[in-house]
Structures are given as structure tokens and as C-alpha cells.
């Protein structure tokens, strides 16, 4: 069987965009986590999935919440990605500009896009759970995406 370190190294060869998944905890406070394991599932109905580590600080809130948001980060938001990826910060939203959507979800300001989702299924698999969300609201803006490749942040090359 392949070791977790080898598996992570091999998967690092797949370049991904970077997202921050946001939700509100049972007390109404915003919380979130950085995730690169995000993809579309279906166009009709519009479904996406995101994989969340069971050890994530936000995992308990994801489990109990009926909604979550996917914030697709722009090239300028590497610091936000790093902030939401660490377990050393209790309040990840401190100093991060965000807006509460009409659905009550925290949306990170200046992200390239936001997808507001209703949780339709949760599949526990290994040390993560797969959250399937039905996309209820979307918005986007101009800019370049933040990319993650081989263990580091990067940018797309060539003309935008």
C-alpha cells in the first residue's frame, strides 16, 4: 500500500484552484477552511462536492449546517488561503473582509467567485467526508485564480 506522504506527493502533480469553504457555526459565528478538493458533480441539478478533513476545525459546523459557501480565491488571496489552512488560528475570519449573503453565509470579499450551496448529502470516506451541495446562488468577478501545484502556490502562465 502507498504511504500517505507518497500519495500526497503524487496528487501534488495535479494543479488545482484554491477555495475557502465557509459556514456559520451553531452560535452564528463564521468559520471556514481552505480546500482544493472541490469539483462540479452535475449541471442539472447544479451540484458540486468538496472534501473536508474530519480533523478540520470547521468540520463539526459543516456537519450540522444545512448550507455552506465555496469562495474561489483570486491570485491576490494567498494569505487568506494560508490563514484558513492553519489549525493554529482560532478565529480565521479576524482581519478578513467578508459579507454575509442573503442566505446567511460568510462570503470572502474580492474572491473570484462564490457558490452558495444547500447540503444534499454527506459521504464519510477515510479521514474525510464528501459534502455534496446543490448550488443555490452564484456570483463572480474578474481576475486571475490562485493555483496550487506540487505543494506551493502558483499562477497561470500566459495571457489571461
Residue 56 lies in a domain: no
The whole-angstrom separation of Cα 114 and Cα 103 is 12
CA distances from 83 to 4, 6, 78, 96 (A): 24, 25, 9, 9
Beta strands 67-72; 19-24: pairing state:
antiparallel
Number of compact structural domains in the chain: 1
pLDDT score recorded for residue 158: 62
Q: For the residues of 81-102, what is the DSSP string, one character each?
A: HHHHH-SS-S-TTTT--EEE-T
Q: What is the CATH number of the domain that holds 27?
A: 2.30.110.10
Residue 53 lies in a domain: no
Which domain covers residue 74, as residue numbers?
4-36+62-116+137-154
pLDDT in tens, the chain (160 residues): 989 899 888 888 888 999 999 999 999 999 999 999 999 999 999 999 999 999 999 999 999 999 999 999 999 999 999 999 998 998 999 999 999 999 999 999 999 999 999 999 999 999 999 999 999 999 999 999 999 988 899 888 766 5
8 Å CB contact between 70 and 50: yes
Q: What is the phi/psi pair of residue 78, to 5°?
A: -60, -40
Residue 44 lies in a domain: no
CB atoms within 10 A of CB 40: 11
Residue 12 lies in a domain: yes
Residue 129 lies in a domain: no
Residue 31 lies in a domain: yes
Residue 106 lies in a domain: yes
Residue 141 lies in a domain: yes
pLDDT score recorded for residue 35: 96
Q: For the residues of 102-127, what is the DSSP string, one character each?
A: TTS-EEETT-SEEEEEEEEEEEEETT
pTM for the model stands at 0.93
Is 159 in a helix, a strand, or coil? coil
Amino acid at each position: 500500500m502507498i504511504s500517505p506522504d507518497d500519495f500526497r506527493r503524487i496528487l501534488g502533480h495535479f494543479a488545482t484552484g484554491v477555495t475557502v469553504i465557509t459556514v456559520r457555526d451553531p452560535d452564528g459565528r463564521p468559520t471556514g477552511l481552505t480546500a482544493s478538493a472541490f469539483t462540479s458533480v452535475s449541471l442539472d441539478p447544479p451540484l458540486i462536492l468538496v472534501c473536508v478533513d474530519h480533523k478540520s476545525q470547521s468540520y463539526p459546523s459543516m456537519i450540522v449546517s444545512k448550507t455552506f459557501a465555496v469562495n474561489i480565491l483570486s491570485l491576490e488571496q494567498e494569505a487568506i488561503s494560508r490563514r484558513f489552512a492553519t489549525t493554529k488560528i482560532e478565529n480565521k475570519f479576524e482581519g478578513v473582509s467578508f459579507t454575509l449573503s442573503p442566505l446567511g453565509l460568510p462570503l470572502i470579499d474580492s474572491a473570484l467567485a462564490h457558490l452558495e450551496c444547500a447540503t444534499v448529502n454527506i459521504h464519510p470516506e477515510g479521514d474525510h467526508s464528501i459534502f455534496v451541495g446543490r448550488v443555490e446562488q452564484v456570483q463572480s468577478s474578474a481576475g486571475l485564480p490562485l493555483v496550487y501545484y506540487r505543494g506551493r502556490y502558483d499562477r497561470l502562465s500566459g495571457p489571461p
